[in-house]
A = this chain, B = another copy of it.
């Protein structure tokens, strides 16, 4: 690197960091996710306003490869994180409703998007209309899980039923969108010389699932032995990630799919752990030894440590480099009258299709009107995911720069509008009311409500539950009513510091969700049947988190 190049390179890296922090801060100031600011920064210094004047000075041609290298590392890392957080995202217990909302929110924009694309194809430089139409349809159907999760957390909506439903639907959408896109890219990107190459994706995926995934469990074991994430372990993970990414790129898919799949097969905490793994509390007092053993699962530690090590460089430099470079490629200066018409059509299809599909599916599943509206707005956030998909389409030549620019605007608009629209449709006081309603399900018991509070991971011993039930029973008898309530509760430790990378689904929420799943699945199920058989009590599980779950077969209170 010559002195001149080095100066410009260092300047560009500094500028990206400054722009990302400054515009991210501005975005937060107006209640938007920081990444919106980073993208807008890219658009602002890009050709729309200044032609090549600013971008040519800040990012001259000779340093583009170096910055592009940083951006590509950021992209691969981002997709790895998205894949790694997949499991935490699939919140249990809302299967049917979430699936139908997801199907509705994908099918409607996909169908309308394909129709729109057929109209657009005639007006743009499209080499092959089929992949173009499929790609536009898939891009319309995207919901960005990370942005959605952050909006829910910021507004306290994770504690309402609709928040949990939105998370689950978006998680299904996420997987569906990436799968759909993989097919589209395989169709579009098929090299005429090697048309069979994308077919190798099937053995590649099998290799990853059947061979690499079990091997990665050893990484977890190595971390447990070392007691911390050593540089060697992190090196193994990074090298695996890079090789997986380049394998999919070589197979004619994009590197992002390999990165996503590698994240998805990383070892993770099993919510339904071995029964033996959860120590039982003694009826008199929780044994401190048991508490010691009940620390977070090793796989969870691995995830947090890996993201912690990668977060600073990702958040400060690599991801901003990617989003600023993406924004730079947006050129709205040549849009003109017909372009505005096309943009309007894209916005109508994207917003209308997504809203109609999600809203109709939610109403069919008896979700009330306001929460259904909120859900439909939430499913409209396309955020980072859309930008990644559009960049792939642009790089593969499926869409041209003008369509790319308009679709980026669509992604920005659908993401930015979510906050203000939600405030209208589902204002904060309603969120709080619904969150409270979840925490006080059914009528309050006329007898005593007995709280059994335990450290996380310690199962309530039958004797302890019995004791609590006795108290509740006596209380019910004393007040002359037949109902009482035993509340089993785990104290989930508050995490020291939320991570800056990842879905924004904070550690706190993850912890609560996991705790609720374990408590419901492990501790209570064992005693519930027996308890329900002998006494007339409700067993209600509170997590203070993303909803509530009721053990089945228990007489109602």
User: Which A residues are within 8 Å of any B CB, using their own CB?
Assistant: 1-3, 5-7, 9-11, 13-14, 17-18, 21, 62-63, 65-70, 72-73, 76, 228, 231-232, 234-235, 238-239, 242-243, 245-246, 249-250, 255, 309-310, 312-313, 315-317, 395-396, 497, 500
* Additional A-B contact list (20), CB under 8 Å, known A6-B72, A10-B76: A1-B69, A1-B72, A2-B395, A3-B396, A5-B65, A11-B242, A13-B73, A17-B235, A17-B238, A18-B239, A63-B69, A65-B69, A66-B68, A67-B69, A69-B70, A70-B70, A231-B315, A231-B316, A234-B312, A313-B313
Contact of A7 among B13, B21, B228, B250 (CB under 8 A): B250
A232-B21, A316-B235 known; A242 and B10 CB under 8 Å? yes
B316 touches A72 (CB 8 A): no
Contact of A10 among B6, B68, B245 (CB under 8 A): B245
- Chain B residues with CB under 8 Å of A69's CB are 1, 9, 63, 65-67, 69-70
Q: Which residue of B lies closest to A243 (CB)?
A: B14
Interface SS, A side: helix
Q: Which residue of B lies closest to A242 (CB)?
A: B14
Tell me the bound Cα distance from A21 to B245 in angstroms: 20
Tell me the bound Cα distance from A13 to B72 in angstroms: 11
- Chain B residues with CB under 8 Å of A67's CB are 69
- For the complex formed, measure the closest distance between the CB of A58 and the CB atoms of chain B, giving whole angstroms: 13
Tell me the bound Cα distance from A399 to B246 in angstroms: 38
A17-B235, A18-B239 known; A246 and B10 CB under 8 Å? yes
Q: Which residue of B lies closest to A259 (CB)?
A: B10
- For the complex formed, measure the closest distance between the CB of A311 and the CB atoms of chain B, giving whole angstroms: 8
B238 touches A316 (CB 8 A): yes
Tell me the bound Cα distance from A93 to B255 in angstroms: 57
- Chain B residues with CB under 8 Å of A235's CB are 17-18, 21, 316
Contact of A231 among B70, B312, B396 (CB under 8 A): B312
A232-B21, A249-B6 known; A14 and B312 CB under 8 Å? no
Please indicate which of the listed interface residues A2, A72, A500 has the most CB atoms of chain B within 10 Å of its own CB.
A72
Tell me the bound Cα distance from A313 to B309 in angstroms: 8
- Chain B residues with CB under 8 Å of A6's CB are 72, 246, 249, 255
CB-defined A-B contacts under 8 Å, sample of 8: A10-B243, A10-B246, A10-B249, A17-B239, A63-B69, A65-B69, A309-B313, A310-B313
Q: Which residue of B lies closest to A22 (CB)?
A: B235
- Chain B residues with CB under 8 Å of A18's CB are 235, 239
Tell me the bound Cα distance from A238 to B18 in angstroms: 10
A316 touches B10 (CB 8 A): no
- Chain B residues with CB under 8 Å of A232's CB are 21
B13 touches A242 (CB 8 A): yes
B13 touches A249 (CB 8 A): no
- Chain B residues with CB under 8 Å of A2's CB are 395
- Chain B residues with CB under 8 Å of A63's CB are 65, 69
Contact of A1 among B65, B231, B309 (CB under 8 A): B65
B315 touches A312 (CB 8 A): no
- Chain B residues with CB under 8 Å of A310's CB are 312-313
